[in-house]
């Protein structure tokens, strides 16, 4: 008779639950009809990441991670979402634009691609050291779904949010693999994010200024 | 206490009787609560019993070309709902003699057979609305099936069996087994499944009179008299059975009788009803705070349930979560 696997401890269960909620938020971003709600979901996901960093810092006694958690809270939960929300308010666009697929098919496709990510990561000879094993697979799924968000939603906001949340997925993977990464490297990630915000901000302003829409379907109107 | 002990068979009969007798009361409480939340006074809690009594006294009208299936459908469905309480933990933590007769999948098959019988009886009438209801119920039933299968897989991975009693024991075992991610995901997916199968918003407005939005409700249109009573009684029993599964297997399997003593078994009945009324209150609040999905958007709801169920299996399979 098959034997049931052991029950995870409440720490690893809790950590997995946080990462799962982050992945589910990614799915919610994929289907959110309003640009504003996508950005709020991103802020919520980043909050999850900060919580994750704090819990790893507390259990592994890595003081650097407290700094990372605080920095990413300020940047990703407060600054970046408020900048993008302000840009959106100026643009006066509510709907995040058309999808290339129906919601149910998008979610099914995302499920398929997450399963792929799970199995690929599971077959690699790498193991999460500081977090439970499943978090690495979940982070891979998060990254792949973020790609899908960028590909399937045809508007600038979704592409920006997809890119930002991609960074969240990469950060979770880095926490799982190498929590002892020097702080300077982690902070460099965050500065990359700031650069991306500036780039996407310029893109949103310019695109909206020229074509009065945020949909990338209108990009070909810019041909000279 | 050296009290009197009940025979296992007696307890098993008591499980069935609990579901049969108290299912209309649950519907009554939910209807009353719903009315209060909407600012109406609402019907009496015992109203479903009066309705059943009235319907059983009325005559049965059969559509012109309907055959024996029309009359057999409601009876078969009712019998199916009588069988399921034998398989699931309604009152006790320990399995009863016939508890091993079928697993979760077996119980789901019997519920599916009941739905099939009702749909067949509705299709037999030749009435367009009843047929529309039965075709929709079958379609959406097929779409929600994958989620159910993955919930069963989760149970199988957690307990190495697929018996509801073992899942309930696993849930009760410790706090970390109650809050493990796989269990939470499966419980949430099952919650969505119950929402769908009891015909609640966001899938269906169960108190609506608008035929075009109906799924399950439309199937009983052509039935009357005792047959309609059996259908109504059956659907409230199905509701209580699904609540029992949600409560006593996934969400809160506490307060069940741990021994065969008369006192603890009898005490388990009011505890179960209290929990069922609580779940009913949650469903009512959901009913009153969301709007119904458009028919072609229901697939999004199914996709969400499937997402949760498949993530539960993945987390277990690859991470032991």
User: Could you tell me where the beta strands, DSSP code E, fall in chain A?
Assistant: none
Instruction: State the Cα–Cα distance between residues A99 and B299, nearest whole angstrom.
Output: 16
Top pLDDT among A45 and A118 is at A45
The chain B residue lying nearest A110, using CA atoms, is B307
pLDDT tier at B276, thresholds 50, 70, 90: very high
Instruction: State the Cα–Cα distance between residues A129 and A143, nearest whole angstrom.
Output: 20
pLDDT at A50 exceeding the cut of 90: yes
Instruction: State the Cα–Cα distance between residues B114 and A148, nearest whole angstrom.
Output: 41
pLDDT at B206 exceeding the cut of 80: no
Helix (H, G, I), strand (E, B) or coil at B49: helix
Does a structural domain hold residue B3?
no
pLDDT at A5 exceeding the cut of 70: no
Range of the domain at B167: 8-319
Residues 1-20 of A with CB under 8 A from B: 1-10, 12-14, 16-17, 20
Q: Could you tell me how far CA A161 lies from the centroid of its own chain?
A: 8
Number of domains comprising chain B: 1
Contact across the interface for A108 and B319, Cβ inside 8 Å: no
Closest Cα in chain A, distance from residue B302 (Å): 8
Top pLDDT among A145 and B256 is at A145
Q: With contact defined as beta carbons under 8 Å apart, do B107 and B37 qualify?
A: no
pLDDT tier at B58, thresholds 50, 70, 90: very high
Whether chain B has a CB inside 8 Å of the CB on A99: the answer is: no
Cβ-based contacts of A135 with chain B (< 8 Å): 319
- Residues ≥6 apart with Cβ < 8 Å to A163: A146, A150, A196, A200
| HSE-up (13 A, CA, CB side) for residue B48 | 22
pLDDT at A32: 86
Helix (H, G, I), strand (E, B) or coil at B66: coil
Closest Cα in chain A, distance from residue B321 (Å): 6
Instruction: State the Cα–Cα distance between residues B312 and B146, nearest whole angstrom.
Output: 13
Instruction: Report the pLDDT averaged over residues B152-161.
Output: 88
Cβ-based contacts of B176 with chain A (< 8 Å): 7-10, 13
What are B104-108's contacts with CB under 8 Å, separation 24+?
A: B104/B152, B104/B155, B104/B162, B104/B163, B104/B164, B104/B167, B104/B249, B105/B152, B105/B162, B107/B164, B107/B245, B108/B148, B108/B152
pLDDT at B228 exceeding the cut of 80: yes
Q: With contact defined as beta carbons under 8 Å apart, do B181 and B290 qualify?
A: no
Whether chain A has a CB inside 8 Å of the CB on B304: the answer is: yes
Q: With contact defined as beta carbons under 8 Å apart, do B37 and B285 qualify?
A: yes
Does a structural domain hold residue B112?
yes
Cβ-based contacts of B306 with chain A (< 8 Å): 107-108, 111
Average pLDDT, chain B: 89
Whether the upstream peptide bond of residue A7 has omega within 30° of 0, thus cis, is no
Instruction: Report the pLDDT averaged over residues A91-103.
Output: 73
Instruction: State the Cα–Cα distance between residues A95 and A100, nearest whole angstrom.
Output: 14
Contact across the interface for B179 and A119, Cβ inside 8 Å: no
Q: With contact defined as beta carbons under 8 Å apart, do A121 and A165 qualify?
A: no
pLDDT at B262 exceeding the cut of 80: yes
B205 dihedral zone (left: phi>0; alpha: psi -120 to 50; beta): beta
Residues 54-113 of B with CB under 8 A from A: none
Length of chain A equals: 224
Q: With contact defined as beta carbons under 8 Å apart, do B314 and A115 qualify?
A: yes
Instruction: State the Cα–Cα distance between residues B137 and B116, nearest whole angstrom.
Output: 9
**Whole-complex ipTM:** 0.87
Q: With contact defined as beta carbons under 8 Å apart, do B106 and B99 qualify?
A: no
Strand partners for A155: A215
pLDDT at A188 exceeding the cut of 80: yes
Top pLDDT among B70 and A124 is at B70
pLDDT at A61: 84
Residues 141-160 of B with CB under 8 A from A: 157-160
Whether chain A has a CB inside 8 Å of the CB on B4: the answer is: no
Length of chain B equals: 321
pLDDT tier at B21, thresholds 50, 70, 90: very high
User: Domain residue spans in chain A?
Assistant: 11-92+105-216
Cβ-based contacts of B180 with chain A (< 8 Å): 7-8, 13, 16
Instruction: Report the pLDDT averaged over residues B256-267.
Output: 88
Whether chain A has a CB inside 8 Å of the CB on B316: the answer is: yes
pLDDT at B320: 67
Instruction: Report the pLDDT averaged over residues B275-293.
Output: 91
pLDDT at B290: 86
Instruction: State the Cα–Cα distance between residues A141 and B307, nearest whole angstrom.
Output: 13
pLDDT at A130: 73
Instruction: Report the pLDDT averaged over residues A142-164.
Output: 90
Mark out the alpha helices in chain B (DSSP H runs).
Answer: 8-37, 47-57, 68-87, 104-124, 128-159, 164-173, 175-178, 181-197, 225-245, 262-289, 298-319
pLDDT at B194: 93
Does a structural domain hold residue B1?
no
Top pLDDT among B124 and A215 is at B124
Q: With contact defined as beta carbons under 8 Å apart, do A189 and A178 qualify?
A: no
pLDDT at A218 exceeding the cut of 80: no
Task: List pLDDT tens digits, range A58-85.
Answer: 888 888 889 889 999 999 999 999 998 9
> Residue A122 corresponds to which tokens in the numbers above?
């599971």
Share of chain B above pLDDT 70, in %: 99
Cβ-based contacts of A9 with chain B (< 8 Å): 176
φ/ψ (deg, to 5) at B290: -120, 165
pLDDT at B282: 94
Contact across the interface for A5 and B157, Cβ inside 8 Å: yes
φ/ψ (deg, to 5) at A220: -70, -10
pLDDT at A1: 44
Cβ atoms within 10 Å, residue B204: 25
Whether chain A has a CB inside 8 Å of the CB on B303: the answer is: yes
Q: Could you tell me how far CA B245 lies from the centroid of its own chain?
A: 8
pLDDT tier at B202, thresholds 50, 70, 90: confident
Residue with tokens 């809050």: B179
φ/ψ (deg, to 5) at A214: -105, 0
């Amino acid at each position: 008779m098959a034997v049931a696997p052991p029950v995870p401890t409440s720490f690893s269960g809790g950590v997995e639950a946080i990462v799962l909620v982050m992945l589910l938020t990614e799915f919610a971003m994929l289907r959110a009809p309003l640009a504003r709600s996508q950005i709020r979901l991103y802020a919520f996901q980043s909050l999850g990441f900060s919580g994750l960093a704090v819990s790893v810092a507390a259990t592994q006694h890595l003081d650097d991670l407290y700094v990372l958690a605080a920095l990413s809270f300020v940047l990703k939960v407060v600054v970046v979402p408020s900048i993008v929300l302000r840009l959106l308010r100026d643009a006066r666009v509510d709907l995040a634009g058309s999808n290339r697929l129906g919601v149910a098919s998008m979610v099914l496709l995302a499920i398929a691609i997450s399963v792929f990510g799970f199995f690929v990561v599971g077959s690699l000879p790498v193991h999460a050291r500081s977090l439970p094993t499943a978090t690495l697979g979940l982070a891979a799924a998060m990254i792949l779904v973020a790609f899908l968000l960028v590909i399937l939603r045809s508007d600038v906001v979704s592409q920006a949010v997809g890119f930002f949340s991609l960074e969240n997925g990469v950060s979770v993977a880095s926490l799982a693999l190498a929590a002892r990464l020097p702080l300077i490297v982690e902070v460099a990630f965050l500065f990359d994010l700031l650069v991306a915000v500036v780039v996407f901000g310029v893109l949103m302003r310019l695109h909206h200024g020229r074509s009065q829409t945020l949909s990338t379907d209108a990009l070909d109107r810019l041909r000279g | 206490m050296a009290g009197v002990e009940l025979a296992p068979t007696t307890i098993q009969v008591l499980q069935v009787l609990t579901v049969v007798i108290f299912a209309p009361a649950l519907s009554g409480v939910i209807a009353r609560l719903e009315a209060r939340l909407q600012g109406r006074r609402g019907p009496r809690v015992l109203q479903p019993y009066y309705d059943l009594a009235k319907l059983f006294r009325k005559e049965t009208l059969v559509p012109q070309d309907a055959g024996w299936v029309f009359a057999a459908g409601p009876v078969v469905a009712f019998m199916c709902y009588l069988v399921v309480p034998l398989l699931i933990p309604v009152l006790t933590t320990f399995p009863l003699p016939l508890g091993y007769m079928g697993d979760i999948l077996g119980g789901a098959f019997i519920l599916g057979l009941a739905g099939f019988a009702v749909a067949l009886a509705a299709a037999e009438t030749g009435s367009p609305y009843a047929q529309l209801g039965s075709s929709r119920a079958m379609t959406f039933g097929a779409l929600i099936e994958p989620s159910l299968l993955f919930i069963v897989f989760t149970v199988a991975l957690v307990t190495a069996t697929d018996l509801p009693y073992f899942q309930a024991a696993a849930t009760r075992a410790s706090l970390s087994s109650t809050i493990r991610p796989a269990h939470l995901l499966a419980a949430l997916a099952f919650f969505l499944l119950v929402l769908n199968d009891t015909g609640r918003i966001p899938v269906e407005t169960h108190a609506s009179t608008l035929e075009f939005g109906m799924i399950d409700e439309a199937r009983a249109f052509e039935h009357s008299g005792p047959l309609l009573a059996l259908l109504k009684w059956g659907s409230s029993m199905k509701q209580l059975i699904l609540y029992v599964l949600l409560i006593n297997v996934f969400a809160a399997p506490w307060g069940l009788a741990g021994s065969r003593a008369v006192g603890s078994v009898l005490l388990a009945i009011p505890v179960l009803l209290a929990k069922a009324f609580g779940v009913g209150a949650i469903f009512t609040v959901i009913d009153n705070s969301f709007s119904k999905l458009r028919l072609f958007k229901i697939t999004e709801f199914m996709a969400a349930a499937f997402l949760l169920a498949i993530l539960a299996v993945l987390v277990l399979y690859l991470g032991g979560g």
